[in-house]
Structure 1
Amino acid sequence: MSENWIKVYITTDTFAAEVLKQGLTEAGIPAVTINKQLVAYHLGEIHVMVNKTDFDKAIEYIVQNEIE
């Protein structure tokens, strides 16, 4: 992954990560998820990443939508 991407959200819930990624994308903020879980056991984290230039907008989106 390019060094221009930065984490804006970490979770263990695959569904929550995908919903956030979709919401950010619909708000015009390109986002990707990186699943670092051991699939068989669902241990580990999922990172939602955005471009560094969109970091502030992504955090604002997360706060406005009360995503925890």
Structure 2
Amino acid sequence: MEKHWTKLLVTTNTFQAEITKQMLEEHGVPAVVINKQDSSYRFGQVELYVHESKEAFARDLMSKIGQGDNEA
């Protein structure tokens, strides 16, 4: 991961991470999902990163839609 990216969300739900990423991108916040789950057994975590310059805005968006409970 490049410098200046902040982990915003850690979850085991791949769909939640992807939907959150899409919502952030629709609001102009670049986001990256890194899937660290085992491909066979689906254990592990999925992490969502945003650039640190957009972190406060992204956290505010997530709190407004009720997705702030699994924050990193």
Q: Same fold (TM over 0.5)?
A: yes
Q: TM-score category by the smaller chain?
A: over 0.9
* Aligned residues: CA RMSD: 0.7
Structure 1 residue 4, shift from structure 2 partner: 1.2
Gaps of 5+ in 2: none
Deviations 1:27-67 (A, max 9, x none): 11000100011111111100010001011011001100111
Could you state the TM-score of these two structures normalised by the residue count of structure 1?
A: 0.95
Gaps of 5+ in 1: none
Specify the SS of the correspondent of 1:8.
Answer: strand
CA distance in 2: counterparts of 1:2 and 1:34, whole angstroms? 13
* Identity within the alignment, %: 37
Runs of 4+ in 1 over 4 A off after TM superposition: none
Number of aligned residue pairs: give it. Answer: 68
